[in-house]
Structure 1
Amino acid sequence: MIRLLALIGVLLAIPARAEIIDSAERGFTVVQTASVAASPDRAWQALTSEVGRWWHPEHTWFGRADALSINARAGGCFCEISGDAQVEHARVIFVQPGKLLRMSGALGPMQGMGLSGLIDWQFAAKDGETLITLRSRFGGYAPEGLGALAKPVDYVLGLQLKRLAAHIEGRELPR
């Protein structure tokens, strides 16, 4: 019970907001935001150079967050490399350091479903903090439709943003 209360306290302390913007048969858009007590440059560094320290290992192919990297240049890779086992999660298509990182790809099981997506990480200074906005759009053909994927994807990406925010501020990472 104490662990549950502690977990609830940690989750409530994380200033994040998530929203499914739209969800249809052929795709969906999810948006999460978090404010962190850091500069946009520090938040950018944590995203691009420290992803292996905050990404949840249960949401990797090989169970090791430290196998993740983001090469923040046009054509760069958000990759997971564990020896001979390798995955390209997304390709970097737009870089404006400290402001916007845009990637194209399909995360997790969406990759095997033949879906595609755009993932934007935006950073904006606001009232001495940085507002991080994670906007993700996924679409494609799936016989069973894509509407049901919006909630689980929203949850997983929201968790990653909460973990990034906690990492930036030196707090315990949410599970």
Structure 2
Amino acid sequence: MIRLATVLAACAAMLSVPAQGEVVDQGSNSFVTRDSATVGAEPQAVWLELISPGGWWNDAHTWSADASNMMLTPQGGGCFCERIPATEDDGAIGLAGSVQHMVVLQAFPRRALRMRGGLGPLQSEPVDGVLTITLKPVDGGTRILWEYVVGGYMRFKVSDIAKAVDGVMSQQLDGLASKLGRIDDPDPEPETPSEAQSEDAPDPAPEGDEEAEPEPVIESAIGEDFLDEPTR
């Protein structure tokens, strides 16, 4: 049985990590974190490493304190899970446990991995989260885009938990990227539509002129723009 102190330490570690990526959206009960990294490896190698989280996930953000217990089944309905090994304190053989971190929604080899679930302390809250990881070939390697969308009632202060989760997500991405070998991105992502609009927006129409309101800009979910490209 896991000691309560271990569980509390895992939660505290998540809440104490500084943000490295970006909280790109935040509401009263929701937030979106996003980060990216470019590595000097082909999508095939990146995919194989991605679906083996025991080799790059951070020990501090596991319930067992050992990332080698992490496992991922890259199939729809598959589990991103963690083994909780039995210990001498259990007093009997066969008391090993497990944790379901997320459930796989989409596994598109070399292209995209999408999973649903609340990570870390979010597991104790009635929130839903969707993590989408997309891989895009670039000159000399692969760009990894990592986005986590969380929504629902939570007892945490949203601004605080959003920054903490953002930091942990970037820490995991950094573990993956560091193992594969980070490189400079030869083709950085363009500005988002909302950013481009803010800089290039036309002057407001004079008072009295009636014009139809512009259609709202809806950004595509991260990853969808890659699914129509040929696979390497």
TM over 0.5, shorter chain: yes
What is the CA deviation profile of residues 72-121 of structure 1, one whole-angstrom value per residue up to 9, with x for unaligned ones?
A: 00000000012322100000011110000000001000011121100001
When structure 1 is superposed on structure 2, of 144-153 and 87-96 the one drifting more is 144-153
Q: Which has the larger radius of gyration?
A: 2
Q: CA deviation at 1:128?
A: 2.1
Which amino acid is 1:65 matched to? A
Q: Which residue of 1 aligns with 2:143?
A: 131
**Aligned-partner SS, 1:79:** strand
**Aligned-partner SS, 2:21:** strand
**Aligned-partner SS, 2:41:** coil
In structure 2, the CA distance between the partners of 1:157 and 1:143, relative to structure 1 (3 Å rule), is: closer
CA distance in 2, matches of 1:162, 1:93: 23
Identity %: 33
Q: Which residue of 1 aligns with 2:211?
A: none
CA distance in 1, matches of 2:64, 2:44: 30
Unaligned runs of 5+ in 1: 1-16, 171-175
TM-score for both structures, normalised by structure 1? 0.83
Q: Which residue of 2 aligns with 1:31?
A: 34
- Are residues 1:113 and 2:122 paired? no
Contact 2:53–2:71, Cα closer than 8 Å, also in 1: yes
Contact 1:26–1:147, Cα closer than 8 Å, also in 2: no
CA distance in 1, matches of 2:70, 2:44: 20
Q: Which residue of 2 aligns with 1:71?
A: 73
The within-5 A match list for 1:1-175 is: 18-48=21-51, 50-83=52-85, 84-169=96-181
Contact 2:134–2:146, Cα closer than 8 Å, also in 1: yes
**Aligned-partner SS, 1:159:** helix
Q: CA deviation at 1:146?
A: 2.3
Unaligned runs of 5+ in 2: 1-19, 86-95, 183-232
**Aligned-partner SS, 1:73:** coil
CA distance in 2, matches of 1:93, 1:30: 19
In structure 2, the CA distance between the partners of 1:139 and 1:128, relative to structure 1 (3 Å rule), is: same
Q: How many positions carry a matched residue from both structures?
A: 153
Which amino acid is 1:36 matched to? V
